[in-house]
Chain A
């Protein structure tokens, strides 16, 4: 079977540099950026690589984009070996990195995009047409004639994302595309990426991110990577299911209910806990149910107690929980520490 991307035991090490130890002899250390990575990505798939900084995400994408040689193993893009035939691979791909400052400040947004489109031999007419369409779709038409030295970081990154699509690649590598972007711009970018893949069966996106929500929202499948190793690879839903962790219902009511212990006896309730806040007079109930359908029984009991439900929410295991269970650390905590 042919894949858009396939890696076989892909390994990449970097020299850490030479350090003098106590005996004054020089020893060199190797950093294992990728450790026998085996990943397959189907054509038409939006595939995410999720992991903390330094996990190996960028190294993987750079090997696939022919910017880096693997130490061992192999990588195929559309069945073409990236080491043996990089020229053929480059005809099918493009790459955008987050936090890029690429482009030339002296040129306008449109001129920069045209200039980069020429690297793919696109005719002037098609290039200009695509650039106009993309600028409009991503809400940048008002910036088209502005020099990019005058753009904000977010707008410049948005322009770079447009650059990735201008050549209409078969496979697009996006390395942390929403890094440093504000919520609104990130949302627009994510929406466009999703639409682009959904509307074109043959288009494939490999996206690296350390934002859980981004991977969850966008990706058909996600590979969780840490210390150069792929720890899990599946759809976000299956990854969450694999935790075998139940969904928790949170209900807030306005009174202290009588006979709270009896909630345990309601059919379908696996676990029950509560907390009463005397200051507000409100009670917080937490349930784990055998099945979602049992929630109606609980709301009925609450109503019979002449109490009013103020809020009801269901908390399912998140990709964050999956990551913690696999890596033994929280991704967000690590990012916070590094920042």
Chain B
């Protein structure tokens, strides 16, 4: 039992290492993954300024812009990842190894979180400095808790997608593409999700970023609670439930998809 735990922890570290190193080795990411998203953020800031929206909206947009890095990472480096791994032959290596398949997903998530954080911090700091965002922390403890729960449930969702897309061919790429823009809208990356109305907001809350962003805005800006969808404590509770659900769902989805793949011969696609 102890040996198995040790092996799985090493596997998590090993798989995460690829992204820890990858986060810095190709400097082109500074342009493609931070400066370009910053342009979108800037566009929304100027729209709000032109409309003379409340000052908090600038902060809302900068925070949303920074959190985009996590969504992009979950979508492209988690959800579609097993498809790429299958294409290159890595999936076969993971499936033959004496480890829990969840260790690979955790490794991907842990490395991906670090990678996305470097991008998010960059966008957040530059955006805050350029647009002179005024933060007023209501409760930093709750803010950190909310951020961490958002990440756990978000990467949990990524792990579910990754498991479900494992047997996909090129359609994994298309499906991932299909999710990108609607979530930008539903999660309120660039506006308070309350604007969608309670029903749409609640449906959108199935995506962890919706509750996470809404809660963080309430806790980081003076008039944030005025634009909040739900009470922050309720949002924390919701994120706890989503985290538990997605982690369990990913475990079972992975187990089932692996069985299906082995049964149908689709776990590894080459030379069948």
Contacts and interface: CB of A to CB of B under 8 A. Distances in A.
Contacts of A116: 14, 93
Interface of A: 14-15, 33, 58-59, 62, 65-69, 87, 90-91, 93-95, 97, 100-104, 106-107, 111, 114-122, 163, 175
Contacts of B25: 106
A101 B11 CA distance: 20
Interface string B254-272: 0000000011110110111
Interface string B141-160: 00000000000000000000
Interface in B233-272: 262-265, 267-268, 270-272
B36 interface: no
A293 B93 CA distance: 53
Given A68-B262, A115-B14, A100 B272 contact: no
A103 B97 contact: no
B83 to A, nearest CB: 15
Contact of A114 (B14, B95, B98, B265): B14
A103 B98 CA distance: 18
Given A59-B272, A119-B14, A121-B7, A102 B262 contact: no
B43 interface: no
B268 A121 contact: no
Contacts, number: 95
B136 interface: no
Dominant secondary structure of chain A at its interface with chain B: mixed
Contact of A121 (B3, B21, B262): B3
Nearest to B3: A121
A317 B89 CA distance: 38
Given A66-B262, A111-B21, 12 more contacts: A14-B272, A33-B272, A67-B96, A68-B265, A90-B96, A90-B98, A102-B90, A106-B18, A115-B18, A116-B14, A118-B15, A121-B3
A101 B89 CA distance: 6
B72 interface: no
Given A68-B265, A69-B263, A90 B272 contact: no
A147 B163 CA distance: 29
Contact of A103 (B7, B21, B90, B92): B90
B89 to A, nearest CB: 4
A69 B262 contact: yes
Q: Which of A14, A102, A103, A117 has the largest number of chain B CB atoms within 10 A?
A: A102
B7 A120 contact: yes
A3 B26 CA distance: 49
A120 B18 contact: no
A92 to B, nearest CB: 9
Nearest to A12: B265
Contacts of A33: 272
A90 B95 CA distance: 9
Contacts of B138: none
